[in-house]
Amino acid sequence: MKLMIKEKFRKLWISYIIQSLMAAIAIFIIVSVLGKERVVVISAMGATSFIVFAMPKAVSARTRNVIGGHLVGLASGAIFYFAALPYFVGYPLAVGIAVFLMVALDLEHPPAAGTALAVVVNEVSFDVFVAIVISAIVLSQCRYYLRNHLKDLV
């Protein structure tokens, strides 16, 4: 398999570097503020940062989708966290219901399916809710305020 550099990279290499650094800085800020105890729960934010900084013009990068999608993932994960179901039933249902609701409500944001899984596997608490909401808001606001400077890299 031959590895080839995209033609787009040759033209926008500075944007590739800057936007990748912005993604790293945004995750650094989120992890610094929320602490490493929540890293598993906010791990889906790594995928969100890819969408926000590498695909800022995508529908799934819109503020509505980022915040709404993660809220749906949070709700679905919480429901199945408290449901008296075996893990091999509850975990997949949390993800499946999150996907269904995101698509039905026009809130498509693929990393939010990871939020549903992280919540159902780990824990549900006010701290988890705050961590997810703050992370989604921070990333959405980064995209919003930088929208005139961010380029689609994919």
**pLDDT tens profile 47-100:** 999 999 999 999 999 999 999 999 999 999 999 999 989 999 999 999 999 999
Question: What tokens appear for 4 in the block?
Answer: 């080839």
Q: Residue 1: inside a domain, yes or no?
A: no
Overall number of domains in the chain: 1
User: What is the rounded CA–CA span in Å between residue 150 and residue 42?
Assistant: 23
Residue with the larger pLDDT of the pair 3 and 148: 148
Does the structure show a pLDDT above 90 at 2? no
Q: Residue 20: inside a domain, yes or no?
A: yes
pLDDT, position 1: 67
Contacts of range 83-87, beta carbons closer than 8 Å, 24 or more positions apart: 87/121
Q: Residue 153: inside a domain, yes or no?
A: no
Residue with the larger pLDDT of the pair 41 and 13: 13
Alpha helical stretches, state H, the chain: 7-34, 44-54, 63-82, 87-104, 111-121, 126-146
Q: Residue 136: inside a domain, yes or no?
A: yes
Q: Report whether 77 contacts 43 (CB < 8 A).
A: no
Q: Residue 67: inside a domain, yes or no?
A: yes
Residue with the larger pLDDT of the pair 9 and 123: 9
Residue with the larger pLDDT of the pair 5 and 20: 20
Q: Residue 90: inside a domain, yes or no?
A: yes
CA 37, distance to chain mean position in Å, is: 18
CA 137, distance to chain mean position in Å, is: 11
pLDDT, position 125: 86
- Give the domain range for residue 129: 12-146
Q: Residue 22: inside a domain, yes or no?
A: yes
pLDDT, position 37: 76
pLDDT average, residue stretch 4-27? 92
Q: Residue 152: inside a domain, yes or no?
A: no
Mean confidence (pLDDT) of the chain: 93
Residue 61: DSSP 8-state: G
Does the structure show a pLDDT above 70 at 147? yes
* Residues listed for the chain: 154
